[in-house]
Amino acid sequence: MCDTSGWAATSTRHARAGLSRLIEPGDLLGPLTVEVLGAEQTLELIASGTGPTPQEQQRVGEAAEASGLTARQRRLPAALQRWRTRLPQIRDTQMLRSLYRCGGGLLIPEDAAWPRQLNDLGPAQPLALWFRVAAGDSDPYSLAPARLPQAGRSVAVVGSREMTDYGGKVAWETARELAAHGVSIISGGAYGIDAAAHRGSLDGAQEDGWPALAVLAGGVDRFYPAGNDRLLHAILDRGIILSEMPPGSAPTRHRFLQRNRLIAALAAGTVVVEARWRSGALSTAHHAMDIGRPVGAVPGSVYSASSAGCHRLLRHTPAQLITDAADIMELVAADGADPGWPPGLRPAASAAVTGDAESRSATDGLGEVDRRIFEALPVRSTTTPSRLSEAAGLPMPQVLGGLTRLERKRLVHRTGGRWGRTGHQLGRT
Amino acid sequence: MCDTSGWAATSTRHARAGLSRLIEPGDLLGPLTVEVLGAEQTLELIASGTGPTPQEQQRVGEAAEASGLTARQRRLPAALQRWRTRLPQIRDTQMLRSLYRCGGGLLIPEDAAWPRQLNDLGPAQPLALWFRVAAGDSDPYSLAPARLPQAGRSVAVVGSREMTDYGGKVAWETARELAAHGVSIISGGAYGIDAAAHRGSLDGAQEDGWPALAVLAGGVDRFYPAGNDRLLHAILDRGIILSEMPPGSAPTRHRFLQRNRLIAALAAGTVVVEARWRSGALSTAHHAMDIGRPVGAVPGSVYSASSAGCHRLLRHTPAQLITDAADIMELVAADGADPGWPPGLRPAASAAVTGDAESRSATDGLGEVDRRIFEALPVRSTTTPSRLSEAAGLPMPQVLGGLTRLERKRLVHRTGGRWGRTGHQLGRT
């Protein structure tokens, strides 16, 4: 379906452009019909105004059944009626041309550059991805491929619009550190945590990196929310802005929730920095879990409403607790053996919490006997070996042997026939 | 071993009192030898100065091997030598009498009141428990049984001495709420989180409850740390103070770590409120896990060193995230079906985090079609059904049917031939 340049045929691109206008995200029969009949033929069928042939209906019905769609979702004639309602809106070639002029274009599954990780969405995969990469004269199609998220080198950092200073700091710092290690940060371009994560990724970016990726719920031609206009323009310089909705589309609540599945599927893992008890960020996390991607959540004060959703995830789902960028690297690295994943910020094999976790002290590494002798020694005075034998509950030969070993380690000192600790090392745990 | 009063014979009590002086906690062959030979005979053997008979050695050796002790730990002659070093310190009858006068006594496994949950410690179970319950004229042996922790009605709340205001607040509030529900709080009597938990339990206690239980690393005759003297005396009025170390024993680091296993074993579950990366509170948590008790940890700021140990537990162990007293009730209630456990603070079946967690809004509970219609309506103006059909991507009959349903729910209103939303319900998640 794509020529040697890696790009699909123009007719296919135009057909998918039109279809992305007609078929609402989440309308699962749409992508299935396109998969079975092809983009051009599906568009023709919709535009023709006629019903599907029995053959067409059967082929689509079988594929839909195999994908687990309900009997109602599988009804092609009803779907065609739905999709026809927006036919008056189709101005595909013009739409593509005017978007091209402002640095954008359309990616479709038939393109070599299509992010294959979206396949994990199964029947919920998008029909196409509208993108914007620049405002200048450059050819957006030559810029886009390098800026798309690599399957294993991108992380979604998401959260509530109502963030605290704490959440903003965590989002900014972790995104910055990840970007500095060549990881792209994917978020939703919203106020609050999303914006902090985008900003962090831009601030931490490597010279030649493409750190920032925003997935919008509405069209890429008008940035939403307006207050993030400057931020989203900055992303055009150092990343890419995506949407499955065609230019001119308004962001509706339904589309925000659908958009979240794209964020989850594009990233190697999703981290929720702050979320209220009910928050759209949780839906992104659940989309990620549904397709088997690792999810992390940042803890916070139990008194902060902005952390309640994160705590909820940590209590009731397999979400992993995240305290810093290194934890995120571990989260996504543990998941797959992606060869392209950059080396971790700290050794991947994290220090296990051992059974005898305790304060580091002078007696760390001592044997049982030597430790008992050391601890039986008075802290600020000295004692005789026989008193020490009684205090430690150990026979004299063991006490004398232990004192010699401890003296060699400079933990104890002898004054005449009496022994004491070296310095003050009262340890308590 | 105990008469109809429920108390063991005096000779057994005196023997265990002496043994608790001779045998250091963690010296696993001690309790095993006592189990095999009996308390009196073990003490006689130690005091006799002679070696064990081949029979004695064989019986103890077999029990020790069955309990998984190493060959070295199993050597009875070497153990007898260790235990003999403190023989000069035994003044058992006097010790018991003077402690009795200050409101204390000795509990031993042969007593009916012995907390059976300690059996879970296996070979690490204590030889005896020294206790203190009052400073007055009352008979401590008549007061103690009611104040001991019931297997399923007590929770350990522990943490670092270096606590933050946040940690202190969480410890105090959760302990207070649990105590108000008749749950006893077990902690270590230390500064910081321990003290906050003890205070909370005393402040929240029911009239007839015994909310506070402190387990000390040193003797119960002198309270440590001195700065908590008033608090520990307050616990005497409303609870009990325990230690496996006999009166006069100093708290050493080794004994603090050993003490932690008693806190873990006495409680139905252990909650760590604040702990640094290396903290004794983590050892209590691990003791609890080792014997299959549930463990919880309170999250906090990722920038707080005092929460680092809790986050470590949450990341690398099965510890459950705790945000309030209700979470703790759920933690311990989920574990066992203890019939005596008080009803939870909120329905035990916690609200699951569903896949489509989202802000509660006007469209909650609407069907897919109605939701799409509602969302396609302009927020601050009105529109015609045909425009709505196009905007929503749904055929006219569906749009008209949906509008009627939405009108019945008072979510939309009609003005002439145009439709709009009722009020302002712009929802975004």
Q: In B, residues 7-46, which contact A (CB 8 Å cutoff)?
A: 22-24, 27
- Nearest chain A residue to B77 by CA distance is A395
Mean pLDDT of A76-90: 92
| pLDDT tens digits, A343-384 | 444 333 333 333 333 334 566 678 778 888 888 888 778 888
For residue B80, give both structure tokens.
């007898």
Which residues is B46 bridged to in the sheet? Answer: none
Residue A159 CB contacts under 8 Å (≥ 6 apart), including other chains? A167, A171, A192, A193, A194, A197, A272, A273, A274, A275, A279, A281
Give chain B positions within 8 Å (CB) of A279: 357-359, 429
User: Residue A356 to residues A194, A360, A429, B156, B284: CA-CA distances in angstroms?
Assistant: 40, 11, 11, 18, 9
| pLDDT tens digits, A227-282 | 999 999 999 999 999 999 999 999 999 999 999 999 999 999 999 999 999 888 99
- Is B117-335's fold the same as B368-421's? no
B253 and A286: CB-CB below 8 Å?
no
Give chain A positions within 8 Å (CB) of B372: 24, 254
3 state DSSP class of B398 = helix
Q: Is B35 exposed, middle or buried (0-12, 13-18, 19+ CB in 10 A)?
A: middle
Residue A369 CB contacts under 8 Å (≥ 6 apart), including other chains? A394, A398, A402
The residues spanned by each domain of chain A are 10-90, 116-335, 368-421
A309 touches chain B (CB under 8 A): yes
pLDDT at B347: 31
pLDDT at B334: 62
Give chain A positions within 8 Å (CB) of B392: 85
d(CA A144, CA A13): 15
Give chain A positions within 8 Å (CB) of B166: 301, 303
User: How does strand A154-158 pair with strand A184-187?
Assistant: parallel
Range A167-185 burial, b when 16+ CB lie within 10 A, else e: bbbbbbbbbbbbbbbbbbb
pLDDT at B131: 97
Report residue B194 CA to chain centroid gap.
Answer: 12
Stronger pLDDT, A128 or A407, i.e. the higher one: A128
Mean pLDDT of A124-142: 90
CA distance, residue B71 to nearest chain A CA (Å): 15
Mean pLDDT of A162-169: 96
Give chain A positions within 8 Å (CB) of B252: 375-376
Residue B387 CB contacts under 8 Å (≥ 6 apart), including other chains? none
pLDDT at A390: 80
| pLDDT tens digits, A315-336 | 999 999 999 999 999 999 865 4
A390 and B86: CB-CB below 8 Å?
yes
Residue range B368-421, CATH number: 1.10.10.10
pLDDT at B423: 62
Residue B254 CB contacts under 8 Å (≥ 6 apart), including other chains? A371, A372, A375, B24, B25, B26
Residue A211 CB contacts under 8 Å (≥ 6 apart), including other chains? A179, A183, A184, A185, A201, A202, A204, A205, A238, A239
B361 and A253: CB-CB below 8 Å?
yes
Give chain A positions within 8 Å (CB) of B286: 353-357
User: How does strand B104-107 pair with strand B129-132?
Assistant: antiparallel
Q: Is the pLDDT of residue A402 over 50?
A: yes
d(CA A99, CA A236): 14
Among the partner residues B309, B352, B363, nearest to A253 by beta-carbon distance = B363
- Nearest chain A residue to B396 by CA distance is A85
Give chain A positions within 8 Å (CB) of B89: 390
Among the partner residues A314, A322, A427, nearest to B321 by beta-carbon distance = A314
CA angle, corner A188, sides to A172 and A234, nearest 5?
65
Residues B253 and B225 sit within 8 Å (Cβ to Cβ): no
B358 and A392: CB-CB below 8 Å?
no
B385 touches chain A (CB under 8 A): no
- Residue ranges of chain B with pLDDT lower than 70? 1-4, 91-93, 136, 334-364, 423-429
Q: What is the CA radius of gyration of chain B?
A: 30
> Is residue A152 very low, low, confident or very high in pLDDT (cuts 50, 70, 90)?
confident
pLDDT at A397: 74
A292 touches chain B (CB under 8 A): no
Give chain A positions within 8 Å (CB) of B390: 85-86, 88-89
What is the end-to-end Cα distance of chain A in Å, rounded? 67
For residue B407, give both structure tokens.
């009108």
d(CA A214, CA A240): 7
B84 touches chain A (CB under 8 A): yes
Residues B412 and B422 sit within 8 Å (Cβ to Cβ): yes
B376 touches chain A (CB under 8 A): yes
> Is residue A426 very low, low, confident or very high in pLDDT (cuts 50, 70, 90)?
very low
| pLDDT tens digits, B18-72 | 999 999 999 999 999 999 999 999 999 999 999 999 999 999 999 999 999 999 9
A358 touches chain B (CB under 8 A): yes
Residue A117: DSSP 8-state: G
Q: Does domain B117-335 have CATH number 3.30.1860.10?
A: no
Chain B interface mutation, best of A83, A85, A368, highest count of B Cβ atoms under 10 Å: A85
Chain B interface mutation, best of A314, A315, A411, highest count of B Cβ atoms under 10 Å: A315
Chain B interface mutation, best of A321, A354, A356, A370, highest count of B Cβ atoms under 10 Å: A321
The strand order across the sheet containing A412-415 reads A382-383, A418-421, A412-415
Smallest Cα–Cα separation from B321: which of A353, A300, A280? A300
CA distance, residue B273 to nearest chain A CA (Å): 11
Q: Does domain A116-335 have CATH number 3.20.20.70?
A: no
Strands (E), A17-160: 104-107, 129-132, 154-158
3 state DSSP class of B353 = coil
- Nearest chain B residue to A317 by CA distance is B353
pLDDT at A423: 62
pLDDT at A92: 54
Torsion of CA B86, B92, B95, B97, to 10 degrees: 180
Residues B164 and B275 sit within 8 Å (Cβ to Cβ): no
3 state DSSP class of A415 = strand
A85 and B279: CB-CB below 8 Å?
no
For residue A27, give both structure tokens.
């309308």
Q: Is the pLDDT of residue A215 over 90?
A: yes
d(CA B332, CA B166): 24
A252 and B375: CB-CB below 8 Å?
yes
Mean pLDDT of A177-189: 96
Q: What is the ipTM of this complex?
A: 0.78
CA distance, residue B385 to nearest chain A CA (Å): 12
Give chain B positions within 8 Å (CB) of A287: 355
Smallest Cα–Cα separation from B126: which of B104, B100, B107, B149? B107
Among the partner residues A283, A321, A372, nearest to B429 by beta-carbon distance = A283
Q: What is the CA radius of gyration of chain A?
A: 30
